[in-house]
């Protein structure tokens, strides 16, 4: 059982009235198929300042530079807003980050992961802010990528449920999906996630229920944590004036038993981090029982009365199955998107190598 944070940025202390000026941090991106890797980037960025402002690109901009997004811009805006380390969301943020954008939103600097983001013509999207010294880097989360998640959806395999050796079909996918002419790319290649206690501690910075708070228990798979889950949890959070929401996550085997195929797409540890990053959740039960028993309610010090079940309509019909259908429908486009991304990265790396070999021409370089 893991407790999550409440309040701004998961319970972080705010500077007092006589403290220094608040440091405003800027992040931007597509945030398509938001996963715990995105959340971890925003967690690290938030730790570098006092307020985190996140710009999210439009569908049109993403299609121009990368290929079709899986989720609409409105869905992506709301997903980012639901991450507990985010203070403000800026819709329709420009794809190329400029000093003008940072100044417009009074941001001191921007933060991005230690991977490459390029425009459609192969230019570094952070070139201007890097040259101005208003750029910071955070560590990319190993073991997860949108490419990997797409691969799990397209292949009927359960290899991602454990650390066992991948099936031959999944291995073939891992070695080929989105591969450019020079081979597997370190940023978009398929990999497997390894959970650590430190990662859980970083995501969970919470407290026990306080007097006067209403404890609300929900349970499910919460697979591919998406906008449907967010809408549901937001509704649950609004059921009480001072809610303390506990989310129970079922074991992988249990989810596979009632959903079949290769579900869950994300294993239990990955789903745990995804739910912990949500601002509406206070605590997570890892491996919660499928049936809510009296013993479970007693463990949470719930009232001894029964008949306390409440059904909540999220108002959103999006499911994990529908997300998978979106991916399958546009499979060729997503494969082309990843191939294009890797080709641009290879060209960029080659240009940087030439720049290192010929430093005297550095001022003439366009990168």
What's the rounded Cα separation, in Å, for the pair 180 and 204? 38
Q: Is the pTM of this model over 0.85?
A: no
What's the rounded Cα separation, in Å, for the pair 25 and 51? 6
Cis peptide before 19 (omega within 30 of 0): no
Strand partners, 104: none
What's the rounded Cα separation, in Å, for the pair 40 and 46? 10
Cα dist from 362 to 125, 248, 358, whole Å: 18, 55, 7
- Report the pLDDT value the prediction gives residue 191, as an integer from 0 to 100: 40
- Report the pLDDT value the prediction gives residue 275, as an integer from 0 to 100: 96
Strand partners, 247: 218, 284
- Report the pLDDT value the prediction gives residue 118, as an integer from 0 to 100: 75
DSSP type of residue 220: E
Task: Compute the C-alpha angle 20/8/31, nearest 5°.
Answer: 105
What's the rounded Cα separation, in Å, for the pair 342 and 347? 9
Task: Compute, in degrees rounded to 10, the torsion defined by CA atoms 115, 81, 220, 204.
Answer: 70
Task: Compute the C-alpha angle 320/322/326, nearest 5°.
Answer: 115
**Strands across the sheet containing 135-138:** 88-91, 51-56, 24-29, 109-113, 135-138
Q: Which of 179, 136, 153 is nearest to 321 (CA)?
A: 153
- Report the pLDDT value the prediction gives residue 363, as an integer from 0 to 100: 30
Report which secondary-structure segment, H or E, holds 283: strand 283-286
What's the rounded Cα separation, in Å, for the pair 273 and 254? 19
Ordered per-residue pLDDT tens for the chain, 367 residues = 555 543 444 444 555 555 678 999 999 999 998 999 999 999 999 999 999 999 999 999 999 888 888 899 999 999 999 999 999 999 999 999 999 999 999 999 999 987 777 777 778 899 999 999 999 999 888 777 777 788 788 775 566 665 444 445 444 444 443 343 343 333 333 345 556 666 777 788 567 888 999 999 999 999 999 999 999 999 999 999 999 999 999 999 999 999 998 899 999 999 999 999 999 999 999 999 988 777 766 665 554 444 566 778 888 989 988 998 888 777 767 666 666 666 666 665 666 666 665 444 333 322 2
């Amino acid at each position: 059982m893991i407790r999550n944070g409440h309040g701004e940025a998961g319970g972080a202390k705010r500077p007092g009235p006589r403290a220094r000026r608040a440091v405003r941090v800027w992040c931007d991106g597509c945030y398509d198929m938001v996963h715990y890797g995105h959340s971890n980037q925003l967690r690290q960025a938030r730790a570098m300042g006092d307020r985190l402002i996140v710009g999210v690109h439009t569908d049109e901009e993403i299609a121009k530079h990368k290929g079709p997004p899986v989720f609409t811009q409105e869905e992506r805006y709301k997903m980012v807003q639901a991450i507990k380390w985010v203070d403000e969301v800026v819709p329709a943020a420009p794809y190329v980050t400029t000093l003008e954008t940072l100044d417009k939103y009074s941001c001191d600097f921007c933060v991005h992961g230690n991977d490459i983001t390029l425009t459609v013509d192969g230019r570094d999207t952070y070139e201007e802010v890097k040259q101005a010294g208003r750029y910071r880097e955070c560590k990319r989360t190993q073991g997860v990528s949108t490419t990997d998640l797409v691969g799990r959806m397209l292949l009927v395999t359960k290899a991602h449920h454990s650390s066992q050796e991948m099936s031959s079909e999944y291995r073939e996918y891992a070695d080929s999906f989105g591969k450019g002419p020079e081979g597997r790319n370190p940023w978009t290649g398929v990999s497997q996630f390894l959970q650590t206690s430190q990662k859980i501690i970083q995501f969970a910075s919470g407290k026990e229920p306080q007097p006067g708070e209403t404890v609300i228990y929900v349970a499910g798979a919460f697979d591919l944590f998406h906008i449907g889950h967010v809408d549901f949890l937001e509704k649950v959070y609004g059921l009480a004036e001072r809610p303390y929401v506990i989310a129970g996550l079922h074991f992988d085997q249990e989810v596979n038993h009632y959903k079949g195929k290769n579900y869950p797409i994300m294993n239990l540890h990955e789903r745990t981090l995804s739910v912990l990053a949500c601002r509406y959740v206070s605590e997570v039960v890892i491996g919660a029982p499928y049936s809510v028993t009296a013993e479970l309610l007693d463990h949470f010090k719930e009232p001894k009365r029964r008949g306390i079940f409440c059904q909540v309509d999220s108002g959103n019909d999006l499911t994990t199955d529908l997300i998978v259908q979106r991916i399958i429908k546009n499979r060729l486009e997503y494969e082309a998107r990843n191939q294009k991304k890797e080709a641009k990265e290879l060209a960029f790396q080659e240009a940087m190598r030439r720049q290192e070999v010929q430093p005297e021409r550095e001022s003439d370089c366009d990168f």
